[in-house]
Chain A
Amino acid sequence: MNSGIDLQGSFVQTLKDFGLSAGLAKAIWLPLPMLLMIIGATIGVLVVVWLERKISAAAQQRIGPEYAGPLGVLQPVADGIKLVFKEDVIPAKADPWLFTLGPILVVIPVFLSYLIVPFGQNLIISDINVGIFIWISLSSIAPIGLLMAGYASNNKYSLLGGLRAAAQSISYEIPLALSVLAIVMMSNSLSTIDIVEQQAGYGILGWNIWRQPVGFIIFWIAALAECERLPFDLPEAEEELVAGYQTEYSGMKFALFYLGSYVNLVLSALVFAILYLGGWEFFIPLDRLADWIGVAETTPWLQVLTASLGIIMTLVKAYFLVFIAILLRWTVPRVRIDQLLDLGWKFLLPVSLANLLITAALKLSFPLAFGG
């Protein structure tokens, strides 16, 4: 299998040609993809905020942001600048250390999870063996931050919101992990690269969504609940809890929560695209097409084309899912807290367990179609 473009190798080689030592070249290379990913994730958030406002407006027959930049694209930037320059208020009798640490603990794991998101064969920060499991375990740190923020605010709404958020993300983590486990079982690996590889070869027909229709729905519901998106946004339900754990926050700390929630949404959509929609694969198998035309796989222009197409495809799939999430937001009413926990523990958990068992059985009986 041809590995495609190796950016790291060529970058290090170039620096070595300039006369730098191998270790120094590697050290210069290391922060670059991380920085790029952080910037990319932040820009992705700006895009999602703009999309959210525009699509919400369209669904309600409004126009939405219009005057800041063409079609209002600079509105999220304006929001961000406003939040940066706002006064940072720490309420009296709040716990200042925990109050500051809470939003940080919520944001950092989400950004760390971008480590395992691949945009192509080599376009990933670190292809580690435990790949997708890192995402699950990192997302379990966030409730600590939420509890911290809720407790430190010295406000009853905040405390209730934090407790609700923690209860919600604990109960939806299990169906999420079980539906991921079914995918992992089919691809025999936790690595995100291997999961996408296993779906490759047949274009749109090879994607996991056809093999895991139930897991697909469970994952989407659980991911929405993890991101606290609208049918499940109980922790910040305006009518009951003002703004939940964010009630006392303003300025940059509030911006961190805001950023974290949207980064988490984009991340969930990306992971969803990787697990169920074939990651960076195009709708039709490109390498076979290239074979038919008679272009060798190692042709440079073909490699550049497939790499850029891979990035575009991953983003297109992820933003399609974000679009569905926003549409769902204006369609489905918010559930009550008992309905939420009922749905998680009494419906999603047994169904995802059954899904896992059925996948195991199918894998044993049809090893060809379900990854032997």
Chain B
Amino acid sequence: MFNILKQVQDYASESWQAAKYIGQGLSVTFDHMQRRPVTVQYPYEKLIPSERYRGRIHFEFDKCIACEVCVRVCPINLPVVDWEFDKTAKKKKLNHYSIDFGVCIFCGNCVEYCPTNCLSMTEEYELASYDRHELNYDNVALGRLPYKVTQDPMVTALKEFAYLPQGVVDPHGLPKGSQRAGQRPEDILPEIEAAKPKAESTEE
């Protein structure tokens, strides 16, 4: 008799708890409705990519010595290096170079290992095309410089979250020349210089 009463009581309290949680969830959702939108209106606004952004790879034809290091460090041996040995100059002569960005994973190993720095990462990320073979860039396409977001008159360039001043979360309508939180590299350098002899003296 009391057993079933307890069952009923437990069931009722559980139902009440469920209702309470749904109410809490509703209040959270309602609270979110008053917050400002955080989205970037993409074709009209674009984020400025960070310094170390790994976008489409840039290639300088004249610097390349056709050593094929990039092919060896690539996880899938992607870059195609077409060279022939020039017997008169006793040097490798590069004919063609291409990377297929439909297959590339943008790991940046080739850029890291290139002995002559002829490969570099750009901030270009809009690689959409109608045919996947259009993504196979040859040395001419690889040599093109990307558009800068900040110089595009159609686009409002927005700073990324890490580049906003302290306490600011919304990149819209920032005053011009506002810097990110913390010190810039050139400010940090003298500090390190100043701290160095002191550290040496304590060691001695």
Chain A interface (Cβ < 8 Å from any Cβ of B): 55, 57-63, 66, 327-328, 330-332, 347
A58 contact set on B, CB distance < 8 A: 32-33, 37
B39 contact set on A, CB distance < 8 A: 61-63
In the complex, A330→B39 CA distance in Å?
A: 18
Closest to B27 in A: A331
Q: Is there a chain A Cβ closer than 8 Å to B36's Cβ?
A: yes
Q: Which of A59, A63, A66, A332 contacts B32 (CB 8 A)?
A: A59
Q: Are B29 and A330 in contact, with the CB atoms below 8 A? A: yes
Q: Is there a chain A Cβ closer than 8 Å to B9's Cβ?
A: no
Known contacts A61-B39, A331-B26: does B15 contact A347 (CB below 8 Å)?
A: yes
Known contacts A61-B32, A327-B30: does B22 contact A332 (CB below 8 Å)?
A: yes
17 contacts between A and B (CB under 8 A): A57-B37, A58-B32, A58-B33, A59-B29, A59-B33, A61-B32, A61-B36, A62-B37, A63-B37, A63-B39, A66-B41, A327-B26, A327-B29, A331-B22, A331-B28, A331-B29, A347-B15
A55 contact set on B, CB distance < 8 A: 33
Closest to B35 in A: A61
Q: Is there a chain A Cβ closer than 8 Å to B25's Cβ?
A: yes
Q: Are A328 and B38 in contact, with the CB atoms below 8 A? A: no
Tell me which residues from 34 to 62 in chain B have a Cβ below 8 Å from any Cβ of chain A.
Answer: 35-39, 41
In the A-B complex, the 6 residue pairs with the closest CB atoms: A331-B25, A58-B33, A331-B29, A63-B37, A61-B38, A62-B39
B41 contact set on A, CB distance < 8 A: 63, 66
B28 contact set on A, CB distance < 8 A: 331
Q: Known pairs A327-B26, A332-B22, A332-B25. 19 more at Cβ < 8 A?
A: A58-B32, A58-B33, A58-B37, A59-B29, A59-B33, A61-B32, A61-B35, A61-B36, A61-B39, A62-B37, A63-B41, A66-B41, A327-B29, A327-B30, A328-B26, A330-B29, A331-B22, A331-B26, A331-B29
In the complex, A154→B36 CA distance in Å?
A: 46
In the complex, A347→B11 CA distance in Å?
A: 10
B30 contact set on A, CB distance < 8 A: 327
In the complex, A20→B38 CA distance in Å?
A: 63
B29 contact set on A, CB distance < 8 A: 59, 327, 330-331
Closest to A64 in B: B37
Output the least CB separation between B181 and chain A (Å): 22
Q: How many inter-chain residue pairs (CB < 8 Å) link A and B?
A: 34
Output the least CB separation between B45 and chain A (Å): 11
Closest to B44 in A: A67
In the complex, A330→B35 CA distance in Å?
A: 15
Output the least CB separation between B62 and chain A (Å): 46
A330 contact set on B, CB distance < 8 A: 29
In the complex, A331→B30 CA distance in Å?
A: 9
In the complex, A327→B26 CA distance in Å?
A: 7
Q: Are A61 and B37 in contact, with the CB atoms below 8 A? A: yes
B36 contact set on A, CB distance < 8 A: 61
Output the least CB separation between A323 and chain B (Å): 10
Output the least CB separation between A64 and chain B (Å): 9
B37 contact set on A, CB distance < 8 A: 57-58, 61-63
A61 contact set on B, CB distance < 8 A: 32, 35-39
Output the least CB separation between B155 and chain A (Å): 16
In the complex, A55→B25 CA distance in Å?
A: 16
B32 contact set on A, CB distance < 8 A: 58-61
A57 contact set on B, CB distance < 8 A: 37
Output the least CB separation between B14 and chain A (Å): 11
In the complex, A332→B35 CA distance in Å?
A: 20
In the complex, A57→B25 CA distance in Å?
A: 17
In the complex, A84→B32 CA distance in Å?
A: 35
In the complex, A76→B113 CA distance in Å?
A: 53
In the complex, A57→B36 CA distance in Å?
A: 11
Output the least CB separation between B5 and chain A (Å): 16
Closest to A66 in B: B41
A327 contact set on B, CB distance < 8 A: 26, 29-30
In the complex, A330→B32 CA distance in Å?
A: 11
In the complex, A370→B37 CA distance in Å?
A: 48
B25 contact set on A, CB distance < 8 A: 331-332
Closest to A328 in B: B26
In the complex, A171→B33 CA distance in Å?
A: 34
B33 contact set on A, CB distance < 8 A: 55, 58-59
In the complex, A268→B51 CA distance in Å?
A: 54
B15 contact set on A, CB distance < 8 A: 347
Tell me which residues from 124 to 160 in chain B have a Cβ below 8 Å from any Cβ of chain A.
Answer: none
In the complex, A58→B39 CA distance in Å?
A: 11
In the complex, A347→B14 CA distance in Å?
A: 12
Output the least CB separation between B36 and chain A (Å): 7
In the complex, A61→B39 CA distance in Å?
A: 7
